[in-house]
Amino acid sequence: DAKTTQPPSMDCAEGRAANLPCNHSTISGNEYVYWYRQIHSQGPQYIIHGLKNNETNEMASLIITEDRKSSTLILPHATLRDTAVYYCIVRFTLSGNTPLVFGKGTRLSVIA
C-alpha cells in the first residue's frame, strides 16, 4: 500500500499557484519523495523528487518539512493543462529498481 496521504481533490484558479500537500509520516531516512502526475489516461509523468532539501525545476517546486513527515508540491502558475491526478510517492532508492507504489493521488482541477 502507498505510504502517503493526499487529499482526493483540489481546485485552483488559472494563473494562481497550486499547492498540493502530502503526508508521509512513516518515511524513513533512505526514502525519497517523488511526485508524478497523470493527465487523463496518459502515462504518469515525472515532476520532481527530493530527499530533505527543497527542490525546484522547470515544472514545480517541492517543499519538504524539516521532520520530513510531509511535503508540498507547488505549481507556481497553474494552467488548464495542469489539470491532472498528482501522485506523491515515497520510495526507497539505494538501488535502481524499486517499484513505484501509486496511491489514489489528488485530482487537481485548474479552473479558468
Partner 1 sequence: EPEVTQTPSHQVTQMGQEVILRCVPISNHLYFYWYRQILGQKVEFLVSFYNNEISEKSEIFDDQFSVERPDGSNFTLKIRSTKLEDSAMYFCASSKALAYTDTQYFGPGTRLTVL
- Residue 45 touching partner 1 (CB under 8 A): yes
Interface residue with partner 1 among 46, 56, 57, 77 (CB under 8 A) is 46
Interface residue with partner 1 among 5, 102, 107, 109 (CB under 8 A) is 102
Angstrom distance (rounded) from CA 35 to CA 1: 16
Q: Looking at this protein, which amino acid is placed at residue 107?
A: R
Strand duo 31-38 + 84-92: pairing: antiparallel
Interface residue with partner 1 among 29, 42, 53, 112 (CB under 8 A) is 42
- Residue 103 touching partner 1 (CB under 8 A): yes
* Nearer CB in complex with partner 1: 67/99: 99
- Residue 32 touching partner 1 (CB under 8 A): yes
Whether the CB-CB separation of 111 and 9 falls below 8 Å is answered with no
Q: Which residues bind partner 1 (CB under 8 A)?
A: 32, 34, 38, 41-46, 49, 51, 87, 93-104
